[in-house]
């Protein structure tokens, strides 16, 4: 058996690159792992006590490996590390294009291309370049073309090793993954990368495929997951007008072993940096390759999600009507246990409430309020509260947008007198117990449950 690679570099210290490399370093003490990012503030944060990413369990993993065989470096220092790296991961963002061919749908590969350029300039000898960021199928062609232009006669192999971690459970997902996917054109480089994962992942969970299948499989996996959420959300609307309860329907549907129980939780709409971007990329690929029927099919998963968010905000606006008043928003993160709010349903919902002239006060245990407002393009009308009691005080409507555990244990009987009489709780996550609310003499409108008020 060949020895393990000695040096790994990862470009991109984001939500994916940082935790993934931390776990590799933790599980492979013999490998030197360096994470490089052009954002100096982000690197400084990775080197501090206050990591830039909130993830349960991440602090402990970083503490064990940082300074031992895990290093976070800026672009200039990092460039030197590329020369003798055996494996270089690309884990930079691949946002939706905002202009040019495919604007609004296709993935923007500009950062990936500049990484490939950076690698071509600094790598020496033979290097395996690993696509960790989600890429459109055949993106490796672009990377290979750029690497081939390197000035030092270096040789390269490109692998696709997409990440399946979900935020909030990233460390658990990395330490005990359902599967690790490695796509490549030749067995030797695949074996090098597989040898790293085999340090802690059972060999049978390491799936190897061709390069293009691996690239497409990642988009497909996210599309299937998002499709389940849109399917249950479509049913939630029907439940609300028929008296069926969406959680009961989901339990029955999910107990069929062919379907399975996960990802059937009705919600205010899915968010996160991946689902929308990856499905749009899939839609674009279908259109580009001449299969518009498939494009229309996947587009509907997104359209339904946009509708679900609008529908939720519309309910609140209809209830408050001309009375206006304060809406208490509980949760800004796109899901619990993360400080990430990219594409969070809260962005669209807060904007819609503000546009209707409502006062919006928010509380989230991890999200940075100023950063949220800036990213959401919200300049005024919204303010933060620092505790649940504060956000709820004087509210005319309550909107639960993230399923944080602490929202499940709110003492509604104690809170009730502080709310405006007639306040309705709009539970976009079905985390509030209906009976407790009814006992407290309050009204609740949960997603996928008929409103009996």
Report, in Å, the least distance between residue 283 CB and ligand UDX. Answer: 16
**26 part of the interface to ligand UDX, by CB under 6 A:** no
Q: In this complex, which beta carbon is closest to ligand UDX, that of residue 246 or of residue 440? A: 246
**16 part of the interface to ligand UDX, by CB under 6 A:** yes
Among 4, 29, 39, 117, binds ligand UDX (CB under 6 A): 39
Report, in Å, the least distance between residue 366 CB and ligand UDX. Answer: 14
Among 8, 9, 10, 13, binds ligand UDX (CB under 6 A): 13
Among 92, 146, 192, 216, binds ligand UDX (CB under 6 A): 92
Report, in Å, the least distance between residue 226 CB and ligand UDX. Answer: 7
- For ligand UDX, the nearest residue by Cβ is 14
> CA-CA distances (angstroms) from residue 210 to 138, 186, 201, 213, 221?
11, 9, 21, 5, 16
**375 part of the interface to ligand UDX, by CB under 6 A:** no
**17 part of the interface to ligand UDX, by CB under 6 A:** yes
Instruction: Tell me which stretch binds ligand UDX (CB under 6 A): 34-42, 385-393, 413-421, 433-441.
Output: 34-42
Report, in Å, the least distance between residue 416 CB and ligand UDX. Answer: 28
The pair of structure tokens assigned to 48 is: 């501090």
Q: In this complex, which beta carbon is closest to ligand UDX, that of residue 332 or of residue 419? A: 332
**34 part of the interface to ligand UDX, by CB under 6 A:** no
**86 part of the interface to ligand UDX, by CB under 6 A:** no
Report, in Å, the least distance between residue 278 CB and ligand UDX. Answer: 7
**264 part of the interface to ligand UDX, by CB under 6 A:** yes
Task: Say how far apart CA 357 and CA 391 lie, in whole Å.
Answer: 18
Tell which positions 119-148 bind ligand UDX, by CB under 6 A. 133-134
Among 167, 240, 337, 427, binds ligand UDX (CB under 6 A): 167
**111 part of the interface to ligand UDX, by CB under 6 A:** yes
Q: In this complex, which beta carbon is closest to ligand UDX, that of residue 178 or of residue 204? A: 178
Q: In this complex, which beta carbon is closest to ligand UDX, that of residue 164 or of residue 288? A: 164
**181 part of the interface to ligand UDX, by CB under 6 A:** no
How many CB atoms are closer than 10 A to CB 316? Answer: 22
Report, in Å, the least distance between residue 2 CB and ligand UDX. Answer: 28
**177 part of the interface to ligand UDX, by CB under 6 A:** no
As a three-state string, the secondary structure of the chain is CCCCCCEEEEECCCCCHHHHHHHHHHHCCCCEEEEEECCHHHHHHHCCCCCCCCCCCHHHHHHHHECCCEEEEEHHHHHHHHCCCCEEEECCCCCECCCCCCCCCCECCHHHHHHHHHHHHHCCCEEEEEECCCCCCCHHHHHHHHHHCCCCCCEEEEEECCCCCCCCCHHHHHHCCCCEEEECCCHHHHHHHHHHHCCCCCHHHEEEECHHHHHHHHHHHHHHHHHHHHHHHHHHHHHHHHCCCHHHHHHHHHCCCCCCCCCCCCCCCCCCCCHHHHHHHHHHHHHHCCCHHHHHHHHHHHHHHHHHHHHHHHHHHHHHHHHCCEEEEECCCCCCCCCCCCCCHHHHHHHHHHHCCCEEEEECCCCCHHHHHHHHCCCCCEEECCCHHHHHCCCCEEEECCCCHHHHCCCHHHHHHHCCCCCEEEECCCCCCHHHHHHCCCEEEECCCCCCC
Q: In this complex, which beta carbon is closest to ligand UDX, that of residue 272 or of residue 448? A: 272
Among 54, 197, 270, 298, binds ligand UDX (CB under 6 A): 270
Location of structure tokens 């020496």: 124
User: What are the φ and ψ backbone dihedral angles of 33, each rounded to 5 degrees?
Assistant: -115, 120
Beta strand pairing call for 359-363 and 326-330:
parallel
Task: Say how far apart CA 398 and CA 416 lie, in whole Å.
Answer: 12
Task: Say how far apart CA 191 and CA 90 lie, in whole Å.
Answer: 19
Task: Say how far apart CA 75 and CA 67 lie, in whole Å.
Answer: 18
Tell which positions 275-334 bind ligand UDX, by CB under 6 A. 275, 334
Q: In this complex, which beta carbon is closest to ligand UDX, that of residue 270 or of residue 284? A: 270
Report, in Å, the least distance between residue 400 CB and ligand UDX. Answer: 12
**184 part of the interface to ligand UDX, by CB under 6 A:** no
Q: In this complex, which beta carbon is closest to ligand UDX, that of residue 20 or of residue 396? A: 20
Task: Say how far apart CA 193 and CA 208 lie, in whole Å.
Answer: 11
Instruction: Tell me which stretch binds ligand UDX (CB under 6 A): 89-97, 177-185, 235-243, 435-443.
Output: 89-97
Count residues near ligand UDX (CB under 6 A): 40
* Catalytic annotation, residues: 274
Instruction: Tell me which stretch binds ligand UDX (CB under 6 A): 13-21, 64-72, 365-373, 441-449.
Output: 13-21
Tell which positions 195-224 bind ligand UDX, by CB under 6 A. 222
Q: Which residues bind ligand UDX (CB under 6 A)?
A: 11-17, 37-39, 42, 91-94, 111, 114-115, 133-134, 163-167, 222, 225, 229, 263-265, 267, 270-275, 334-335
């Amino acid at each position: 058996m060949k020895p393990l690679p000695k040096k790994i570099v990862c470009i991109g210290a984001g939500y994916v690159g940082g935790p993934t490399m931390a776990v590799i370093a933790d599980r492979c003490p013999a490998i030197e792992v360096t994470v490089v990012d052009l954002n100096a503030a982000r690197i400084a944060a990775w080197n501090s006590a206050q990591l830039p990413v909130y993830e349960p369990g991440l602090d402990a993993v970083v503490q064990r490996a940082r300074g031992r065989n895990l290093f976070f470096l800026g672009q200039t220092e990092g460039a030197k590390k590329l020369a003798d790296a055996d494996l270089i991961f690309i884990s930079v963002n691949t946002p939706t294009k905002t202009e040019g061919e495919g604007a609004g749908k296709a993935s923007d590969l500009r950062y990936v291309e500049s990484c490939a350029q950076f690698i071509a300039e600094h790598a020496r000898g033979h290097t395996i370049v690993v696509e960790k960021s989600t890429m459109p199928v055949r993106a490796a062609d672009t990377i290979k073309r750029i690497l081939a232009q390197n000035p030092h006669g270096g040789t390269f192999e490109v692998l696709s090793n997409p990440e399946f971690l979900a935020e909030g459970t990233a460390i658990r997902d990395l330490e005990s993954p359902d599967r690790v996917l490695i796509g490549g054109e030749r067995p030797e480089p695949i074996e090098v990368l597989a040898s790293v994962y085999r340090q802690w992942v059972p060999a049978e969970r390491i799936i190897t495929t061709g390069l293009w299948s691996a690239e497409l499989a990642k988009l497909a996996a996210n599309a299937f997951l998002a499709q389940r959420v849109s399917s249950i959300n479509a049913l939630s609307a029907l439940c609300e007008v028929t008296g069926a309860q969406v959680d009961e329907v989901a339990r029955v549907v999910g107990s069929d072993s062919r379907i399975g129980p996960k990802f059937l939780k009705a919600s205010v709409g899915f968010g996160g940096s991946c689902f929308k971007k990856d499905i749009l990329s899939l839609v674009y690929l279908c259109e580009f390759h001449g299969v518009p029927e498939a494009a229309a099919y996947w587009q509907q998963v997104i359209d339904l999600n946009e509708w679900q968010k609008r529908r939720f905000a519309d309910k609140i606006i209809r209830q408050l009507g001309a009375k206006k008043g304060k809406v208490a928003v509980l949760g800004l993160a796109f899901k619990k246990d993360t400080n990430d709010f990219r594409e969070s349903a809260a962005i669209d919902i807060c904007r819609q409430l503000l546009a209707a002239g409502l006062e919006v006060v928010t509380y989230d245990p991890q999200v940075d309020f100023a950063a949220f407002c800036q990213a959401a393009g919200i300049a005024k009308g919204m303010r933060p509260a620092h505790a649940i009691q504060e956000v709820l005080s004087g509210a005319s409507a309550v909107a639960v947008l993230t399923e944080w555990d602490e929202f499940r244990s709110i003492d509604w009987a104690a809170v009730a007198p502080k709310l405006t009489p007639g306040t309705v709780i709009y539970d976009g996550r079905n985390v509030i117990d209906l009976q407790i609310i009814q006992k407290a003499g309050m009204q609740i409108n949960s997603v996928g449950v008929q409103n009996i008020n």
